[in-house]
Each structure stands twice: as structure tokens, then as C-alpha cells.
């Protein structure tokens, strides 16, 4: 009997078409989403043209809506959007790519309304519209849209990208745009950017606000936004055309010396086989005021040295970077370059260096992420006096990772957090400290040798002697 009542397609077929239709009407009553889905299925029986008409009607309705999308309605609204997007791609595009092309652009245009009505942090919506950008590229190729028309569409879209909904559009459109389309799009963007430099007469300028140097005009804000939008788009086109010089030309003079920008440029120069120029760009970067250089800059410099045949210098620099930052990526890359057995020796040397690193917490973080949990346990045992129990964002996950195979190390970390909370009277952390103490008790039977740490019972006696008056804490232990 149970098998016959299981909800699956085969069992439901036994109800018959009429009964299933009655049930669908009953289930969809009061659910606009279910009704729309049923109408879409009915439209599908009359061909893609009818489906397209239903999608267009729904998208128009969404665009006209004005009510705010509360957090609990985000999933429902996005499910509706996904239904429309999926229908365009799977039903309409398969039968009429040109109609699907118009529909997917109408879909993308709805983004402005959606973001105006919702919290800008609703990433679920941006993901949906980014998928639609990818769909637009595929549909445009299938529909054989003229490159001029397509370039104009993309250009218009980029001018209205306030919410980042069109961020992946150029990259997704590259196959459909082709060489001619990219060139047209580039010319449109250059002209648009240059127009931003033309200032109206002062009498016609709208004052947006006031700064230390006088009025801030609306046209200046708009011009800066326009130029930045055009610059980013032109950089993407340069990448699509593998034109590193065009990419560099779009970088403002003041940003060329920024380490992250220098690394971006160097990566492209290296791909173009121009390692010497890459190293020059990197070494010209401005390091002033930086405690630590970005990993991307350091990695690019290593790759440039390697490409120039200066492998020994590259390895020495890579080791220097590791010593300064304890960034495991540097060590992994270095070990991969070494022959068998040499890499084992180098790893042992690196571990010895980490054990003596001045900042015990950076050392602990390295061993946890490498991962080398036995080394982390040794570090904790040897340098427990240096542990800062206030760094609970490191100590808590470290204790969880270590507790199974290294219960003593986990206990020492838990005790550090307990000690900080009680020594400094942080009553807001007493609840966590009480939980940590209970965890210490559960770990104690699994520790054969406490070494130079007190056994749990002795630790508990000392804790009560030292902090017996912290009644708020001890009340949590009952």
C-alpha cells in the first residue's frame, strides 16, 4: 500500500487526466506563482510564439511593480525571474532565436526595477542577471544578430549598469560581437568618454554640493562616472583582443604605480611573452606606506624572473617573501619547483623557521592552513605562554581542528581563552568560557601526558582559587 501512495509520476498517472487537472486547479488557488507556471505550460501547447507572449507580459508586469521586495520574498521573486529566464532559453530560443534575443534583453532591463525595489545586498538577484548575460551571448550567436546592432545594444546597456547587472556582458558577448563588433563598441565607448570632458557653461551647471575647493557640480560627477565606466569596458575589450598595450593605455597615470594594478599589467605582459617589461612595471610600483606587498605582485615578480631565466634569483625572492609573510602559497610554489627529496628538506627548513617566527599566532595560522597539525600542536605546547586568548577568531576554530588528534593542544588553546575572559573580567564572554571549560573536561580523559601543563583537576582547583569570586562565571557551570 505504501508503494502505491508514494508521490511519483507513475503513481500520479493512475489518477487520470481529469482528476489531476482538478487537483492542479485546487493546489494553484491562492498561488500566483503556480498559476503562472500552469499558464506557461498551457501556452507551450500552442507553440513558442504563445510562450513568448506570456513571458513578455510577465516581464512587463514585473517592470511596472513598485512594492518593496521584503527579505522573505526574495526567493519567491527570484524563482519567478528564473522561470522567465529559463523559459526564454529552453523554449523560445530553441524555436525562434531572434524573438528570444529581444526577450532576454527585456529580461535584463528588468534588473533596474528589481534592484530599486530591493536591498542592494541581495546577491541572489545579481547572480540571476549575470546568468542572463551569459544567455544573451549564446542567443545572440544563434540568432545571427548583426554586429553593429549587437554593439549598440551592449553600449546602451553599459550606460545603465548602476547595479553591476551587466558586469559580465562584454566577456559573454565576445564570440557574437567578433572583431568588427568589438571595434564598433570600442569606438562608441571612446566617443562617449570624450564627450564627458566637454563642460557646459557655468550658468547651466547644477551644483551637487560643496567641498573644500568650492562647488561640486553634477556634471563633474556624471563625467567621472562615465569615464570610469568606459575605461573598465575598454579594458575588457583590450583583454578580448589580447591587446596588452591597449589595456595599459586605459590605466590612469596615478594608478599605474599601484602594486595591484602593476601585477595585473605584468600578468598580461607575461602572457604576451614580454617578461622584461613585466619586471620593469612591477619594480616601478610604489611601495611606500605598505606594511606588506600584495601576494599577486610578489607572485608576478617571481614569474617574471623565471621567464627571464633567472630561476635562482626567483627562488631566493620567493623564500624571502615566505619569510616575511608566512604565506603558504609562496612555499607551495617554491616546493613545486624543487626536485624530489629536495622539497622535503626545504619543507623541514620552512617548518623550523615558522616555529621560531616572532608572531606565534601567524605561525599557528600557517600550520593550520598548510595543514601540519602535528607541528601546530608542537608550537602551542612550546609557546603557550605567548598565546593571546583574546584572539578567539583564531583560537576557537584551531581548538576544534586539533581536538580529535591533539587534545592537549586544543586544551591549551581553550584555557587561553578562559584565562583571558576571567583575568580581564569580560563578563560578556563568560558563557563561552564556561563552554570552553566543559570542553576541557571532556578532552581530559583523552590526554595521556599533560607535560608542563596542569592536569584538568589541578587546573580547575587553581582556576577556582584565582577567580572564585567571579560568581557570574561559576553560576554557568552548575
The number of CA neighbours under 13 Å toward the Cβ of 210 is: 1
Do 337 and 372 share a domain, yes or no?
no
Do 397 and 351 share a domain, yes or no?
no
Read off the C-alpha cell for 205: 551647471
pLDDT of 217 over the 60 cut: no
State the CB neighbour count (10 A cutoff) for residue 141: 17
Write down the mean pLDDT value for the chain: 89
Q: Is 436 exposed, middle or buried (0-12, 13-18, 19+ CB in 10 A)?
A: buried
Position 151 scores a pLDDT of 97
Domain limits for position 431:
366-478
> Residues with Cβ < 8 Å from 422, sequence gap 6 or more?
433, 463, 466, 467, 470, 473
Do 383 and 455 share a domain, yes or no?
yes
Separation in Å, CA 9 to CA 5, 54, 162:
11, 27, 45
Do 334 and 400 share a domain, yes or no?
no
Domain final position from 287, 322, 355: 355
- Number of independent structural domains in the chain: 2
Position 216 scores a pLDDT of 60
Query: Which candidate, 131, 240, 95, places its Cα nearest to that of 176?
Result: 240
Separation in Å, CA 445 to CA 146, 419, 448:
75, 21, 8
Domain final position from 302, 327, 355: 355
Pair 226, 190: CB distance under 8 Å: no
Q: Beta strands of 170-322 (E only): which ranges?
A: 207-211, 214-217
Mean pLDDT for the stretch of residues 11-29: 69
- Does a structural domain hold residue 310? yes
Overall size of the chain counted in residues? 478
Rounded CA gap, 261 and 248, in Å? 10
The pTM score is 0.77
Domain final position from 315, 334, 355: 355
pLDDT of 213 over the 70 cut: no
pLDDT of 165 over the 60 cut: yes
Tell me how many degrees the CA angle 246-247-250 measures, rounded to the nearest 5. Answer: 90
If you search the block for the grid coordinates 615566505, which residue do you land on? Answer: 322
Q: Band the pLDDT of 8: cuts 50, 70, 90.
A: confident
Comparison of pLDDT for 139 and 5, the residue scoring more: 139
pLDDT of 201 over the 70 cut: no
Amino acid at each position: 500500500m505504501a508503494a502505491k501512495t508514494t508521490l511519483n509520476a507513475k503513481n500520479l498517472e493512475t489518477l487520470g487526466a481529469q482528476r489531476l487537472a482538478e487537483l492542479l486547479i485546487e493546489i494553484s488557488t491562492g498561488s500566483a506563482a503556480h498559476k503562472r507556471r500552469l499558464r506557461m505550460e498551457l501556452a507551450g501547447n500552442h507553440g513558442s510564439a504563445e510562450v513568448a507572449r506570456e513571458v513578455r507580459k510577465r516581464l512587463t508586469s514585473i517592470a511596472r511593480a513598485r512594492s518593496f521586495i521584503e527579505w522573505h520574498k526574495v526567493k519567491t521573486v527570484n524563482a519567478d525571474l528564473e522561470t522567465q529566464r529559463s523559459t526564454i532559453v529552453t523554449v523560445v530560443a530553441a524555436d525562434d532565436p531572434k524573438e528570444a534575443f529581444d526577450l532576454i534583453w527585456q529580461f535584463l532591463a528588468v534588473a533596474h526595477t528589481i534592484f530599486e525595489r530591493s536591498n542592494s545586498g541581495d546577491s541572489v538577484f545579481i547572480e540571476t542577471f549575470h546568468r542572463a548575460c551569459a544567455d544573451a551571448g549564446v542567443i545572440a550567436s544563434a540568432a545571427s544578430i548583426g554586429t553593429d546592432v549587437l554593439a549598440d545594444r551592449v553600449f546602451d546597456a553599459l550606460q545603465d549598469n548602476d547595479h553591476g547587472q551587466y558586469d559580465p556582458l562584454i566577456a559573454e558577448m565576445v564570440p557574437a560581437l567578433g572583431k568588427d563588433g568589438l571595434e564598433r563598441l570600442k569606438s562608441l565607448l571612446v566617443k562617449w568618454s570624450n564627450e564627458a570632458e566637454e563642460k557646459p557653461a557655468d550658468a547651466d551647471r547644477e551644483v551637487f554640493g560643496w567641498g573644500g575647493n568650492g562647488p561640486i557640480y553634477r556634471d563633474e560627477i556624471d563625467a567621472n562616472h562615465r569615464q570610469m565606466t568606459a575605461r573598465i569596458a575598454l579594458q575588457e575589450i583590450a583583454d578580448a583582443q589580447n591587446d596588452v598595450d591597449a589595456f595599459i593605455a586605459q590605466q590612469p597615470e596615478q594608478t599605474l604605480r599601484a602594486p595591484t594594478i602593476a601585477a595585473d599589467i605584468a600578468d598580461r605582459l607575461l602572457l604576451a611573452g614580454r617578461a622584461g617589461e613585466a619586471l620593469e612595471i612591477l619594480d616601478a610600483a610604489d611601495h611606500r606606506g605598505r606594511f606588506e606587498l600584495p601576494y599577486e605582485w610578489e607572485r608576478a615578480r617571481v614569474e617574471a624572473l623565471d621567464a627571464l631565466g633567472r630561476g635562482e634569483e626567483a627562488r631566493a625572492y620567493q623564500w624571502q617573501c615566505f619569510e616575511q609573510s608566512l604565506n603558504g602559497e609562496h612555499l607551495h610554489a617554491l616546493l613545486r619547483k624543487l626536485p624530489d627529496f629536495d622539497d622535503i628538506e626545504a619543507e623541514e627548513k620552512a617548518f623550523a623557521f615558522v616555529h621560531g617566527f616572532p608572531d606565534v599566532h601567524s605561525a599557528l595560522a600557517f600550520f593550520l592552513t598548510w595543514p601540519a597539525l602535528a607541528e601546530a600542536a608542537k608550537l602551542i605546547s612550546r609557546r603557550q605562554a605567548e598565546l593571546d586568548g583574546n584572539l578567539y577568531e583564531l583560537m576557537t576554530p584551531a581548538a576544534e581542528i586539533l581536538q580529535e588528534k591533539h587534545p592537549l593542544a586544543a586544551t591549551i588553546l581553550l584555557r587561553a581563552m578562559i584565562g583571558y575572559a576571567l583575568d580581564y573580567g569580560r563578563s560578556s564572554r563568560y558563557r563561552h568560557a564556561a563552554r570552553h571549560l566543559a570542553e576541557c573536561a571532556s578532552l581530559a580523559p583523552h590526554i595521556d601526558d599533560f607535560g608542563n601543563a596542569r592536569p584538568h583537576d589541578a587546573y580547575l582547583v587553581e582556576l577556582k582559587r584565582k577567580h572564585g569570586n567571579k560568581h557570574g562565571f561559576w553560576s554557568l557551570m552548575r
